[in-house]
Amino acid sequence: MHPASAILRRVTPLTPPAIEAYLSGLIPPRDAVLKAMEARAKRERIPIVGPQVGSLLHQLVRMTGARRVFECGSAIGYSTIWLARAVGPKGRVFYTEMDAGRIADARGYLRRAGVLSRVTLLEGPALASLKRTSGVFDAVFCDADKEGYPAYWKEARSRIRPGGLFLCDNTLWSGRVADPRVKDASTRGIRAMTRALAADRRYLSSLIPLRDGLTVAWRRS
């Protein structure tokens, strides 16, 4: 994950605690690997999407039959496991991370989860890795540095097949995007990307107020 994303920030729940608890209770039980990653992420404050978003990512990839998925910003590989399990044994997920230690950790988790053979691990800035990886994708999931969101969208928008998905996490940014007084680079980046995506007639997009906001965009043409 980009260094800017390593600035740890607690996600402010956008729904009442009772609703959060209810939603969490509806998620199917996770296996030992995901549970261990969730516990570590909480203990060490490692940014992961969490089980609610992970489950939805898995569902969306399965629903669209995606087999080639690029992930911008992967950390210890939590969301990568959800995606890799969704693409199936013949699918491919491209993992990106700058920190060698986290890449090593992710490799171990992916092996334990039984999906390492489906994942290509790319070391370095996510945008540079995306540019270097040729071809068209069935889905692109963006969860890297927030100030870079417009650049990720610009690179990905024409490389997703019709019927494919552009998915982006943290697009409500604990409500900061709705406050005009907030003008830091990360918030401005999220706003710019979200507005550019909404204006692109090739895509039909929705911003789902789940956890910290997940943008789901389907390419129709």
3-219: CATH superfamily? Vaccinia Virus protein VP39 (3.40.50.150)
Q: Higher model confidence: residue 3 or residue 123? A: 123
Question: What are 148-202's pLDDT values in tens digits?
Answer: 999 999 999 999 999 999 999 999 999 999 999 999 999 999 999 999 999 999 9
Distance between CA 215 and CA 23 in Å, rounded? 18
**Residue 11 pLDDT greater than 90, yes or no:** no
Domain boundaries, the chain: 3-219
Question: What are 111-161's pLDDT values in tens digits?
Answer: 999 999 999 999 999 999 999 999 999 999 999 999 999 999 999 999 999
Question: What are 68-86's pLDDT values in tens digits?
Answer: 999 999 999 999 999 999 9
pTM for this structure?
0.93
**Residue 217 pLDDT greater than 50, yes or no:** yes
Per-residue burial over 58-68, b = 16 or more CB atoms within 10 Å of its CB, e = otherwise: bebbeebebbb
Contacts of 86 (CB under 8 A, 6+ apart): 57, 58, 59, 61, 62, 66, 69
Looking at residue 2, what is its pLDDT?
Answer: 40
Bridge partners (DSSP) of residue 203 are 219
pLDDT band at 9 (very low <50, low <70, confident <90, very high): low
Distance between CA 130 and CA 150 in Å, rounded? 14
Question: What are 201-210's pLDDT values in tens digits?
Answer: 999 999 999 9
